[in-house]
Amino acid sequence: MRIRLLATAAALALLASPANAQGFGMGGGDGGQKTRYSEQEKREEAANERAYRDALKNTKATTGDSYDPWRTIRPAAGEKSEKNAKR
């Protein structure tokens, strides 16, 4: 009887404690996020951001603002599709 009471009390104590799912794993207590960057890491990140923005600009320049991925599926405005033309 005493063992059952002790096991129940231990189970309730474990259930009542917080889970702390983030921040206390194998990576340490910081939750896996870096708070300080070295100067080299800052320069690398800035270069990556510039390259990303340049790639986006090139993509927009080659496709234009009126890019329509469905252009081969639906007819342009004012045109009739082959299905509608037969009717």
Alpha-carbon distance values, 11 to 17, 19, 20, 24 (Å): 10, 14, 17, 22
Query: Which pLDDT tens digit goes with each residue over 26-81?
Result: 555 555 566 688 999 999 999 999 999 998 888 766 666 666 777 778 766 666 65
Q: What is the pLDDT of residues 54-65, one digit of tens each?
A: 988 887 666 666
